[in-house]
Structure 1
Amino acid sequence: METDCLEIVNLWKTRHYGLSVVAPLLLEMRELASLFSYFDIQHVNRSSNVPAHLCAKFACTLTVTESWTGTRPSFLLTSLLVDDARSSFVE
């Protein structure tokens, strides 16, 4: 998994997140990660993770849970298209 949040990466790798506000999330991730033969979290620059950054930014503005099934939200569409085009060149 890739994230632009270096704090999450460091907490994951050190397992010292007992007092962190994200501890419940990291504990759930550990449980789900145990279902895989290998799982790791890596830090990437925010510029390399634009769609995820836009989703997180948008989520901070919501007062209710929102989900998109079968559609792409308009605020994210351009970023997804650029990200998809960029990944087409990765071998």
Structure 2
Amino acid sequence: MKTDCLEIVNLWNTRHNSLSIVAPLLLEIGELASSFSSFVIQHVIRSANVPAHLYAKHACTLLVTESWTGSRPSFLLTSLMADDARSSFVE
């Protein structure tokens, strides 16, 4: 998993010794992640993670839960297409 929040990465890496209020949540995520052959949380700069940043920004404005099944939300389409174009050059 990639995030532009370095604090989350640091909390994840120290979750077993953490007194943070989110430590129990991170431990639960760790238990769920154990079913995967590999799971890491990596820091990326915000410009490399535009769709996730836009989604988080959008989520902060919501009063209810939104979900999309089989469709992409219109506010993310441009950044998703740009992100897809960038990733095709990287691989």
TM-score, normalising length from structure 1? 0.89
SS of the aligned residue for 2:89 comes to coil
Name the counterpart of 1:12: 12
SS of the aligned residue for 1:89 comes to helix
Question: Residues 10-62 of structure 1, C-alpha deviation per residue, up to 9 Å, x if partnerless?
Answer: 01101144432x33431231111111122111100000000000110000000
1:1-91 aligned within 5 A: 1-15=1-15, 16-20=17-21, 22-91=22-91
- Higher helix proportion (structure 1 or 2): 2
TM-score, normalising length from structure 2? 0.89
Alignment coverage as a number of residue pairs = 90
| d(CA) in 1 for partners of 2:57, 2:18 | 23
| d(CA) in 2 for partners of 1:25, 1:83 | 29
| d(CA) in 2 for partners of 1:62, 1:25 | 22
Runs of at least 4 residues off by over 2 Å: 16-20, 22-25
Query: Which amino acid is 2:47 matched to?
Result: S
TM-align CA RMSD: 1.3
Query: Which amino acid is 2:49 matched to?
Result: N
| d(CA) in 2 for partners of 1:5, 1:52 | 11
Shift of residue 72, structure 1, vs aligned partner: 1.1
Shift of residue 5, structure 1, vs aligned partner: 0.5
SS of the aligned residue for 1:54 comes to helix
